[in-house]
Amino acid sequence: MNMISKITSAMILTGGLLMATEYKVDNAHTNIGFTVKHMMITNVHGKFTSYDAIIDFDESTKTFKKLVANIDTKSIDTGITDRDNHLRSDDFFASEKFPKMTFEMTSYKADGDEGKISGNLTIRGITKPVTLDVEDISVLGSKVGFSLEGKINRQDFDLKWNKAIELGGVAVANEVKIKVDIEAAKK
């Protein structure tokens, strides 16, 4: 490759990186939620109320360049104080020892207003790769909105507590559905 080709390639690559804009999450219009089966018959919904994220997004190509999120495990909220305290305990999140869980994007594959975001999820100091579906990417003025959905097995992150039920089931299913709705504004 000659020098002019190298310089041109570098300019194109750098220009693509410069197109991304950093966004700040609007906590009033964002929900970091999950759903898990209880006793194999009903869903329990919960959310985290304290978090921050760095989002670099190129609105012209609707492509994520960076997404790093930090979630305060003590901020778990299922609407039941006793259950929330149990989830903060060593049986689940061990919030005193592991006050944060994190997600750090490793790649993004765009498909119009949707895509797949892959990254490393860390809970209780255990990091595992996960892929989340990205849906409903919308840009309006200086704001971007989108949804993330996926599933994890809580056992993979040492969230192993379970109470056997007399009828042969378990108190808490292993599969946890993740549903995140984000609105963010340009910094």
Full-model pTM: 0.84
Residue 2 counted as domain residue: no
Bridge partners (DSSP) of residue 32 are: 48, 180
Nearest in space to 149 (alpha carbons), one of 160, 133, 164: 133
| Window from 35-44, 45-54, 57-66, 127-136 with minimum mean pLDDT | 35-44
Name the domain count of the chain: 1
Tokens for 177, please give them: 């559905």
pLDDT band at 102 (very low <50, low <70, confident <90, very high): very high
Residue 158 counted as domain residue: yes
Host domain of residue 139: 20-186
CATH assignment at residue 115: 2.40.128.110
Torsion, CA 59, CA 149, CA 152, CA 89, rounded to 10: 90
What number of CA atoms fall less than 13 Å from residue 27's CA on the CB side? 10
What pLDDT is recorded for position 42?
85
Residue 11 counted as domain residue: no
Tokens 């190129």 correspond to 58
Nearest in space to 181 (alpha carbons), one of 140, 143, 134: 134
pLDDT band at 163 (very low <50, low <70, confident <90, very high): low
What pLDDT is recorded for position 126?
97
Is 73 in contact with 84 (CB distance < 8 Å)? no
Give CA–CA dist 17/23, Å, rounded. Answer: 15
pLDDT band at 117 (very low <50, low <70, confident <90, very high): very high
Nearest in space to 56 (alpha carbons), one of 48, 45, 46, 67: 67
